[in-house]
Amino acid sequence: MTSETLILLSLLAPTVGALLVSLTGSAPNLRESISTLATLVTFGAVAPLTPRVLAGQRPRLDVMEVLPGVDLAFEVEPLGMLYALVASGLWIITSLYAIGYMRGHNEQNQTRFFVCFALAISAALGIAFSANLFTLFLFYEVLTFSTFPLVTHHGTEKAKQAGRIYLGILVTTSVCFLLLAVVWTFQLTGSLEFRPGGILAGKASGSTLTALMVLYAFGAGKAALMPFHRWLPNAMVAPTPVSALLHAVAVVKAGVFTILKVIVYVFGIETIAAGGHSDWLMWVASGTLLLASLVAITQDNLKARLAYSTISQLSYIVLGGALATAEGVLGGGMHIVMHAVGKITLFFCAGAIYVAAHKTEISTMNGLARRMPFTMTAFTIGSLSIIGLPPFGGTWGKWYLGLGAARGDNHLFIFVLMLSSLLSIGYLMPVVLRAFFRPPDPESNSHHGEHADEDSGSQHASHKGGRHEGIQEAPLLCVGPLCAAAVGCLVLFFTSDQILQLLLPITTGAR
């Protein structure tokens, strides 16, 4: 197949999937088959593009000219290729996990859930393959609006409130800052194209460039830079598969991806390094990554803790871009992948714990590993990868980020990275220690036992976990994907070289 067809197919497969899912809502088995098929077709369309991009091709698809100089067009470059691979690859296992989770949990409005989910993936791929700022902005907004019904899925007052914050922050930042920056860029350069080496170089004064940098960095509100991070913990009211794929991978990575892409292809690394336009951003990112880690330690709700951990890890990637060195950007790109796989593992585990044991608070998870050994082992692996210990993928992201800081003579930030790694041990390891080494909490179990007795007549898989002896894992469709994700963390440690090969041209091609 030609590259154009593949690009089109990867964008259309989730959309058509969403359409078919909405039509087959009355037959859950058929609906889920279509949903899974869509994930496979999408990945099947994205994956074959990889060798072509590795070989130096930049497949392009021009759709139409919307306004003079403003096109709807797609072009696959290494950074986008990587993001697309991550989003579409993890969608497969998330989709399986979602089936197990949603059924195990007897959720309402499952059809709407799967439709919006597919649309969100389609938007994420649109962002990944966008050839210019307009296309990126278009799909960025589609992603916001398509995930809104997922955040408000439960329709409760709390969910509605979270939805307002979600939409409020994401739309405000994107319209007031990002769109302004995009129009401003167009006004200065007459172009919106992503070009190696950037389009802004020499087109504006230094202070204008810094102002634009501010607008872009905060405009990509999905990157959750403080003080625009509050939407992410709020979005955790969504069902766990949404938190896992969207609010640990697709949506948040769309934010940092936007920032990286703007730094590399709109400003140009050299321009930024020479002008110091992103110096302030290093401090904001460092502040965010330390503060968020500290907040994470105080959270007792597991998903909230993971959310703050995500905020912190996203700022690693932003920091990588802000360093404006080749290694920094490489580290940022690498960390997109590593964090995605690690964090999705952790969220899968959180969801599995919720389905099987109905626990959301960390303080109630004592001795949980005896009942859910697979889940908790996977959680440990995911945690180690996020912390950045070998032999797990997370190591390499931090390695290159540290290298980037060293090359740019920003040694202080190596220290920031170290400190934050220590903090991440502080917020992730207690969960593992509690689950493996503390005896099950008698009080919490008796409470839970009562709860189970009430529902003893119920046939739900989720309610099987009433007794506290023996293995009580979540449904197979939950445990399978989370184990696969954990294995992924391990595999990525040994395959990081391919990722590096893919990413290298974005730093050298500029010259």
Partner 1 sequence: MTLHLPAIAILLPLLSAPICVAVRHALVTRLLTVAVGWGSLAVSGELLRQALSGAPIHYELGGFAPPLGIEYVIDTTTGYVLVIVSTIAAVVFSFGATTRGAALPAGREHLYYGAMLLCLAGLLGMTITGDAFNVFVFLEISSLSSYALIGLGQDRRAPVAAFSYLIMGTIGGTFFLLGIGFLYQATGTLNMADMAERLASLHRSRTVHVAFGFLTVGLSLKLAVFPLHQWLPNAYARAPAVISAFLSATATKVMYYVLVRMIFTIFGATFVFGKMGMDMALVPLSLGAMFVGSLAAIFQTDLKRLLAYSSVAQIGYMTLGLSFNSVNGLTGGLAHLFNHALMKGGLFLAVACLVYRVGSSRLDDLAGLGKCMPITSAAFVTGGLALIGVPATVGFISKWYLVLAALETGQYLFAGLILLSSLLAVAYVLRVVEVLYFKAPKSPDVREAPVSLLLPTWILIGATVVFGLRTELTAGLARSAAMQLLGAGS
The contact set with partner 1 (CB under 8 A) reads: 64, 66-67, 70, 72, 134, 137-138, 141-142, 145, 149, 152, 155, 160, 164, 167-168, 171-172, 175-176, 179-180, 183-184, 186-187
CA 499 vs. chain centroid, Å, equals 17
CA dist., res. 437 & res. 217, Å (int): 42
* Comparison of 164 and 438: residue with beta carbon closer to partner 1: 164
Neighbouring residues of 2: CB distance < 8 A, sequence distance ≥ 6: none
Kindly state the smallest distance separating residue 378's Cβ from partner 1, in Å.
35
CA dist., res. 375 & res. 369, Å (int): 8
Kindly state the smallest distance separating residue 168's Cβ from partner 1, in Å.
8
* Comparison of 111 and 360: residue with beta carbon closer to partner 1: 111
* Comparison of 143 and 338: residue with beta carbon closer to partner 1: 143
Contact 389, 432 (CB under 8 A): no
* Comparison of 179 and 500: residue with beta carbon closer to partner 1: 179
* Comparison of 65 and 361: residue with beta carbon closer to partner 1: 65
CA distances (Å), origin 337, targets 141, 169, 248, 317, 485:
23, 25, 11, 11, 12
* Comparison of 167 and 389: residue with beta carbon closer to partner 1: 167
Kindly state the smallest distance separating residue 34's Cβ from partner 1, in Å.
20
Kindly state the smallest distance separating residue 77's Cβ from partner 1, in Å.
21
The CB density around residue 180, as the number of other CB atoms within 10 Å, is: 16
Q: Which of 131, 170, 138, 143 is nearest to 266 (CA)?
A: 131
CA distances (Å), origin 294, targets 124, 223, 249:
30, 18, 22
CA distances (Å), origin 395, targets 24, 239, 339, 391:
44, 30, 10, 7
Kindly state the smallest distance separating residue 148's Cβ from partner 1, in Å.
9
* Comparison of 192 and 306: residue with beta carbon closer to partner 1: 192
Kindly state the smallest distance separating residue 257's Cβ from partner 1, in Å.
18
Per-residue b or e along 277-305, where b marks 16 or more CB atoms closer than 10 Å to that residue's CB: bbeebbebbbebbbbbbebbeebeebbbb
* Comparison of 66 and 491: residue with beta carbon closer to partner 1: 66
Q: Residue 394 half-sphere exposure, CB side, CA atoms within 13 Å?
A: 25
Kindly state the smallest distance separating residue 108's Cβ from partner 1, in Å.
12
Q: Which of 216, 232, 116 is nearest to 166 (CA)?
A: 232
Kindly state the smallest distance separating residue 136's Cβ from partner 1, in Å.
10
